[in-house]
Structure 1
Amino acid sequence: MADSHDHYPTDYRPADDRYERMVYRRCGASGVMLPAVSLGLWQNFGHDTPHATKRAICLKAFDLGITHFDLANNYGPPPGSAERAFGEILRSDFRGYRDELVIASKAGYRMHPGPYGEWGSRKYLIESCDASLKRMGLDHVDIFYSHRFDPDTPLEETMGALDTIVRSGRALYAGVSSYNSQRTREAVAILNRLGTPCLIHQPSYSILNRWLEPDGLKQTLTELGVGAIAFSVLAQGMLTTKYLGGIPEGSRASQAGSLSPKFLTDKALASINKLNEIAQSRGQTLAQMAIAWTLRDAAITTALIGASKPSQVEDCAAAVQNLSFTAEELALIDRHANDEDINIWKRSSETE
């Protein structure tokens, strides 16, 4: 069980200059402004991380003007524990600031055993949303996503569930994640007919994972007026200096999980070394340059980061101090980095 919020002080006051420290960008054609850097709770918010660390990460983020917190029903481990932990932080520290936060959750990946525990059915999405609200102690989230395209459920059913979730007040906006360009067009068309526009798309995207460029997704989102929040912008830590000297004990690549050591090929590491040199020439850390690169055009509204300690949030948030690139820098980055076939979410973004 997560530690009780009663163990922590309830007199937290965020930094007075937090909104001066962050850049905010309009999400598609909507009225919503999102911070250029958002905090995701996919990793490091389960029972394997002390609650004090989770709390410190979230408070540091808000102090830096990061107002958007991204969750999903199955984040943990175990599934659901990240939402419970965030609910504790909402009660202990953010309870007076709910109207300054954008809180998102999702459903689509496996949450529990049985035929109703994953994918895109109306039953799963609506009941998952209700369960997420209960775990966080909220009456609504700001954004609720279909976490992945379901090839076996009619898209009308999945989008209809999102429409119901918004119309019932469970969420203010609807979004999709890891849908390719074709499926995004179909989903947006259905939501438009229902009268619940799609606010945002959440694709994986980084210097080393560029599937959405040949897919045309960025152009599609711009054309449709849909915002984008790119996740895994640091390629799960590959676009930092963490792995340049090998695989550290306790790192994501050293554990069974989403970052396979096979991704850390000699070719990839050579590319990362060159990219680090480019970042240093810009006066940035590699992580900061990778985030800035993701945000280099308006099609991507915000970059979603994860963190295992507050200092990482601070480093990533500082990327907003230099978001511009020269044509020469972009060409140099392209010369030294190509798609490394590390998109573990590829099946979710395929047409069939």
Structure 2
Amino acid sequence: MLYTARQERYESMTYNRCGKSGLKLSAISLGLWHNFGGIDKYENGRAMVRRAFDLGITHFDLANNYGPPPGSAEESFGRMLKDDLSPYRDELIISTKAGYYMWPGPYGEWGSKKSLVSSLDQSLKRMGVDYVDIFYHHRPDPDTPLEETMAALDMIVRQGKALYVGISNYRPEQTREASRILKQLGTPCVIHQPNYSMMSRWIEDGLQEVLEEEGIGSIVFSPLEKGILTDRYLNGITSDSRAAGPSVFLRPEDISETRLAKVKELNKLALERGQKLSQMALAWVLRGGRVTSALIGASKVEQIEDAVGALANASFSQDELDRIEYILK
């Protein structure tokens, strides 16, 4: 059946300006890192993307190597564009990245001009689009001069292959220098994508100040700390959870008894607020307006609905913030 987007999709979503740019992002964005690859059920991924858009999520975040297998998430998303979302392309913010390992040889990863340009050309073909809205350098390259990497991003914008550029996983001083170079070239860095959650707070040690000074927005990944900041592990590790499987991203030791006790206390506070723990965790990273968007992953439609539901109670009293600090100390 032909997909028609929900008419009320923009009524309940919050849209935040990205730094000092004209770009606005939905407060909740959908990442296609897992569950959208060639090994996953296409119709499930399709249902999630459609529901996300119906709820006002306009930003869909990919990378060249998302899958598995690498590249297949972009292929799946390209198919979803063709099947459902092509009439709405001008309402979408599509991003992709390059920098992690994608293909053999010296240009299949890192940050050379050869690598970034080749990778984006491949990504555009996989998705069947002429341009992406945001193109990121996915991680700093210790061996390629930063000037070369940033010049590649500038060239990509001038070629019309991306509207905006960003960086991911850059530390504060690297971010400041990358921003300086890009401003000099005339293509400012508009966004940074770091990890951030109640339990992983390194961006508070200087990066957020740099982003504010440079006028750069931020979209944070892993705001639920790989699922730990949900109600999934309140009773320990279940047989169907990610931690019980072969995941290299979430290990049983990541959910220690000490950590689990903190999660249970946070869950009590969330329930007092009339929220799920996951919703409180998303609202927390968005508090105060320093984060532009929270990037979620999902394996089913209900998780996307829950995430958007976090925006219904996105403010915190000082007492609640103090309780969170006390629990996590």
TM-score scaled by length of structure 2:
0.98
SS in 2 for 1:56: helix
Matched to 1:202, the amino acid is: Q
Q: How does 1:306-321 map to 2 (within 5 A)?
A: 306-321=297-312
Aligned match of 1:74 = 65
What are the Cα deviations for residues 12-41 of structure 1, in whole angstroms up to 9, with x where unaligned? 011111100201111100111111000000
The structure 2 residue matched to 1:221, chosen from 185, 201, 211, is 211
Aligned match of 1:103 = 94
SS in 2 for 1:185: helix
Matched to 2:238, the amino acid is: P
Aligned match of 2:251 = 260
Q: Cα offset for 1:261?
A: 1.9
What are the Cα deviations for residues 37-66 of structure 1, in whole angstroms up to 9, with x where unaligned? 000001111123200000001001001000
Structure 1 range deviating more: 242-251 or 280-289 = 242-251
Aligned match of 2:9 = 18
Q: Cα offset for 1:115?
A: 1.6
Q: Cα offset for 1:335?
A: 1.0
Contact 1:219 1:299 (C-alpha < 8 Å) held by counterparts: no
The alignment status of 1:47 with 2:45, answered yes or no, reads: no
Matched to 1:190, the amino acid is: I
Q: Cα offset for 1:252?
A: 2.0
What are the Cα deviations for residues 108-139 of structure 1, in whole angstroms up to 9, with x where unaligned? 11112222111111111110000000000000
**What stretches of structure 1 move > 3 A for 4+ residues in a row?**
none
Between the aligned partners of 1:255 and 1:102, the Cα distance in structure 2 is 33
Aligned match of 1:350 = none
User: Which blocks of at least 5 consecutive residues in structure 2 are unaligned?
Assistant: none
Aligned match of 1:242 = 232
Q: How does 1:188-227 map to 2 (within 5 A)?
A: 188-214=179-205, 216-227=206-217
Q: Cα offset for 1:332?
A: 0.5
SS in 1 for 2:278: helix
Aligned match of 1:299 = 290
Between the aligned partners of 1:40 and 1:88, the Cα distance in structure 2 is 16
Between the aligned partners of 1:187 and 1:207, the Cα distance in structure 2 is 27
Aligned match of 1:346 = none
The structure 1 residue matched to 2:136, chosen from 145, 148, 156, is 145
Contact 2:66 2:73 (C-alpha < 8 Å) held by counterparts: yes
The structure 1 residue matched to 2:241, chosen from 228, 247, 251, is 251
Q: Cα offset for 1:251?
A: 2.3
What are the Cα deviations for residues 62-110 of structure 1, in whole angstroms up to 9, with x where unaligned? 0100000000000000100000000000000001000000000000111
Between the aligned partners of 2:257 and 2:37, the Cα distance in structure 1 is 32
User: Which blocks of at least 5 consecutive residues in structure 1 are unaligned?
Assistant: 1-8, 339-352
The alignment status of 1:85 with 2:76, answered yes or no, reads: yes
SS in 2 for 1:39: strand
**Percent of matched pairs sharing the same residue:** 57
Give the number of equivalent residue pairs.
328
The structure 2 residue matched to 1:118, chosen from 84, 109, 127, is 109
Q: RMSD value over aligned CA atoms?
A: 0.9
The alignment status of 1:135 with 2:114, answered yes or no, reads: no
The alignment status of 1:169 with 2:127, answered yes or no, reads: no
Contact 2:39 2:69 (C-alpha < 8 Å) held by counterparts: no
TM-score scaled by length of structure 1:
0.92
Contact 1:254 1:261 (C-alpha < 8 Å) held by counterparts: yes
Contact 1:205 1:294 (C-alpha < 8 Å) held by counterparts: yes
Matched to 2:256, the amino acid is: T
Between the aligned partners of 1:236 and 1:59, the Cα distance in structure 2 is 24
The structure 1 residue matched to 2:149, chosen from 150, 158, 162, is 158
